[in-house]
Structures are given as structure tokens and as C-alpha cells.
Amino acid sequence: MKNKLLATLMFVVMLFSTMAACGKTEEPVDYEHTIIFYSTQGDALQKVTANAIASFEAEHPGWKVEHVQPGGYDEVKSKIVSDFQGQNQPDLAYCYPDHVAQYIQTGKVVDLNQFISSAEHGYTPAEVQDFVPGYYNEGYATNYAGYAANGYTAESMLTLPFVKSTELLYYNKTALDALNLPVATTWDQLWAQCETIVKAYPTATPLGYDSEANWFITMREQNGWGYTSAEGNHFLFNNPETTAWLKQLNGYYNKGYITTQEDYGAYTSALFTKGVEDGGLVYCIGSSGGASHQDPGDKFEWGIAPIPGSTLEDGSVDYSVISQGPSLVMLKDGHGVSNSEEKQLMTWLFMKELLDPTFQASFSIASGYNPCRLSTFDIPDYAAHIADTESLTAQAANVARELSSRFYTSPAFVGSSTAREQVGTALVFALRGEKTAEQALADAYTNCGGK
């Protein structure tokens, strides 16, 4: 009897506790006056973005921004694709081009030209020119397969850049100076230096490359080899020129000249910072946004340069380099709002907060990425930041700043992200000799759906 009474009392306590907890429900979101923003930002960057949100909310009473972090870039894309099925897509989101290639098929991607050209709320021609051209041009609909079939024109602007990174050549200046070697500016120069480097530093590797896919894609851009196409047969990379290059890489790998992220099992910046006496790298190609990971401290003197270029048949050198990092895409009609046009305008005004040069300065300092607005470099705090010659992160931003004319854009279509994954994998197989170059490319082509 006592046990039954005790059990009854415990049940009553639990019931009231549950009811009390249920009573603390959050107020439902007013989606007609709340901008839903998806990003990949961690805690530190969320705190920076909170300033832009506070500024927007103070200027527009009654409007809120809900900042959501679904995870990394792939998770953001997956959640948005899932959200579309329930018409619960966000109003604004981080994106990469291959994400948008999938979104435009829904008809929910907003053409930003209507806002950019607005006399009251848009940008002046001078302000448009303030965007880094290579970053800005990525947003044109012509970069996307099937844009016309989905209701867009060649002038449609589907995204605007947020912050960006590029690839840089980090080098051990102490090691190169000891061998009287200049910093390599072309691939031919770099490969010619490798024999001297491995003889002088037997445990070191001359070159580490952090992204196999970036290397593959950049080399096809520098040399004019086929990679992908927005129309027709999308996959063009299974060609004799690329085959010959992969065979060359395998030969250099066998001589101990190369390692990559997949080959090493981690970002090769971890090797670079070890120094050549401890089995490190002389050259490391990695993201400008990850420059802090390349800092060796006092172990050796470092330097930063653009990645090598490819010497063409006419003797000229192509220095094309990839541009990466999040852009912003606006999506419409999520959560069944009845004020779609007003919501789009307010989302645009929040975008402008994120693209304001002063905010861009604070975010770029915190993130290590480069700003999308040229005038950001004149903001006093940012100017002071990049003037620090002892800071590897600051100097990476300076070098990346000078490369804007070298950026290129690859066509985006449903399946372009698969191509990127497959060519990176093909490079690893061919590099190690686990597959012939021919077989590695043929398998990648098949895995992309090529016929």
C-alpha cells in the first residue's frame, strides 16, 4: 500500500513538472516580420553578425532576424532543399554556385536586379563598381545551366558575394634563401627546384596542396583544358591534356615532390609549420581564409605569394586562381507569408547591412576572409589590420587583394558539385598510382553520369 501511494505521488509530481515545462513554450515566430537567415557561422562570427542584426532591427522597428546555423555548407544546402518541400525555405542563406543551380529549379530564387537598380533602396553605379569584380560577376544567371528555362535573363543577378577566399602560395623563406632559390612563379619553375630541395632537405617535401579538386580545376583553367560546361555534355575533363598532366604528377609524387590533403590525411598546413628539418614543406598551397593555420611562429621566416601560373605555348603565363567563400542568395515565399514583396524588400535591406563596408571590415578581421567591397580597405580598423607586416593573416589578405583580376568562375549546374568531388578523387588515385591516369579519369567521368 505504501509503495502504491509513493508511486502515485511521484506520478503526480512528474505530471505537474511536465505541465509546468510545457507552459514555458516560446512564442510562435511571426514569419511575416521575421527574416530567416541560414549561415555556417560558428559562435565567434555569430557575435560579429549580431551587430549587423541589431543595427537592422533598430532601424526597422517591428522587424526581426532569426539567425540559424544548420551546420556546414552541405548541411545548409540539404536543409534548404528539404525546406522547399514544405515551403519553409529561409529568406536569406549562405550559398555556393552549385547550391543555387539546384535552387533555381524551384522558381524561388529572387532576381536581385530589381533591388540593386532601385533608386530608393539600391546601389549607385559607383557602389556596384565598389564590389570586387570577380566576386560580383559570379552572381550572374549566365553562370548557371538552364537559367532561361527557369525564368531568368542573362542580366539576372542571383547572388551577391559576402566574403571570399582564394588560394595562396605559402613558402618557407628561410629554406629557399639558404638554397639561393627565388619564389617560384610558374609550375615549371617550381618543379625545376624540387630536385635541389629534396637533396638539401631529404626528409622534407617540396609542395603540399590542400585541395585536390581546386588544383585540378585551376590547372584546366590556366591551360584551357576542358572541365565542365553549362550546356550540352557537362563533363569535359576526360581528355588527353589532363591525362598527360596526371601522369606527370604521378612521376613527381614517386620522387617525393608532392603531398596533398588526402594523401597526408590532414591539411598540409600542419606539415608546412613543422619546418624542413622536421619533415615539413617548402611550399604549401592553401586558402587565404585559413592563413592562421600556416603560421610557423618563430620556427622560420615565412612568405606569401600568388600560386604558380602555367606557361602556355606562346610563352605567356596564365595565373588564374580560384575564388571561394559564401555568397548570399535570397529566396521568396517561405512559410506562406502574405506580404511577399514587403518581405523581400526588408530582406534586401538586411543584405545591405551585411555588405556595408564597415561591417565587412569587422567580419573580415574576425574571419580571415577577404571583404567583397573594395572600399573596406579604407576603413581605418581594416587598414590598420592589413598594415601589420608581422601578421601572416594580414599579409594573406593583402596578397589575395591583388588577385582580383585573376579569379575565374566555373559553370554551375545540378551535378557540378559531383564533378568537383570526382575530379579531386581522380587526382588522388592517379597521383599515388592506385589507378592509371586514363582509368582515374574514365571512372570519374562515369561516376558523374557522363556517357
- All residue ranges of the chain with pLDDT < 70 are 1-26, 451
123 and 111 together in one domain = yes
188 and 290 together in one domain = yes
Within-domain flag for 21: no
Q: What share of the chain is helix, strand, coil (3-state, %, to 5)?
A: 50, 15, 30
The full length of the chain comes to 451
* DSSP structure string for 147-164: TGGGT--TT-B--EE-EE
Within-domain flag for 377: no
- 319: CATH: 3.40.190.10
In 10 A of CB 51, how many CB atoms?
14
Looking at residue 11, its pLDDT comes to 43
List of residues 6+ apart from 290 with CB closer than 8 A: 165, 210, 267, 269, 368
81 and 99 together in one domain = yes
229 and 308 together in one domain = yes
Is there a contact between 234 and 416 (Cβ–Cβ < 8 Å)? yes
142 and 171 together in one domain = no
Domain boundary among 347, 368, 389: 368
311 and 331 together in one domain = no
219 and 76 together in one domain = no
175 and 203 together in one domain = yes
Strand duo 258-260 + 281-287: pairing: unpaired
* Structural domain boundaries, residue 78: 31-161+326-368
127 and 52 together in one domain = yes
Looking at residue 219, its pLDDT comes to 98
308 and 439 together in one domain = yes
The structure's pTM equals: 0.89
Looking at residue 450, its pLDDT comes to 77
- Count of domains observed in the chain: 2
Looking at residue 449, its pLDDT comes to 87
Domain boundary among 368, 389, 423: 368
Within-domain flag for 11: no
Within-domain flag for 110: yes
